[in-house]
Amino acid sequence: MTKIITYNINGLRAGIKKGFLDWLKDNNFDIICLQETKARQKQIPVQLLEDLGYHHYWHSAEKAGYSGVATLTKKQPDLVVEGCGIEKYDREGRILRLDFGDWSLLNCYFPSGSSGDERHAFKMDYLEDFQDWINELKKERPKLIVVGDYNIVHTELDIHNPDRKDKPSGYKPEERAWMTDWLGSGFVDAFRYKYPEEVIFSWWSFRARSRERNKGWRIDYQSVSENLKDKIIDSAYLNDVVHSDHCPQVLEMDL
């Protein structure tokens, strides 16, 4: 069994100060996909990761203290690819691909459109380009696991106040429609595959005691290509793990 974690850590240096490395030490995860690392490798005590048995791979943003993904794995991958080959996304450090045998793991941090119309347009461009890129990648690597912070609420089950009228970034109809199309293009949402009706969240605003009151959104996902769905053993959100405004999600697969 392989245990894969996806976790928007919202600043890895801050997460380490809040006990992230102790949490790793106390658990036996095979692979950890981190998003929003906000750090470069040289700023992290990587020897401590190596002491825990992890190889580590990084795709950081050009802009300091912004975005970035990192993947920690106990099994060495056959191939590591940074980015998707589209400069405007790759300079923000959003995609890291690791190949293991006949399957590939993509650690992804989708853009947020919450800062205004320009970034929302950027996000929608990213979604379209990402789908096109994945469609091409599937021809070469058909067995895919695509994990990360998608920054999209898919269904009304995935937000604490589904009737809100303002439709903020992350809950706009066009984003949710993209998510439906994404899952219709040959992927399953691993958590929904196992728990089609359960209400659980993965992100909470820092405002108004949102996490304490469980007023959250589910925007972190583990998408598994249809040809691997029978390998899914379980999927869960670890709501009691608190190093970030997100919580980790664990995927257990027979790989």
Q: Using the 8-state DSSP alphabet, how is residue 58 labeled? A: E
Q: Is 128 helix (H, G, I), strand (E, B) or coil?
A: helix
CA distances from 230 to 49, 100, 200, 252, 253 (A): 32, 18, 23, 12, 9
Query: Which entry of 30, 125, 149, 220 is annotated as an active-site residue?
Result: 149
Give the DSSP H/E element, type plus range, for residue 180.
Answer: helix 173-184
CB of 156 closer than 8 Å to CB of 162: yes
CB-side neighbour CA atoms (13 Å) of 230: 1
149 is catalytic: yes
Residue 216 has a CB neighbour count (10 Å cut-off) of: 24
CB 131 within 8 A of CB 108: no
Active site residues: 149
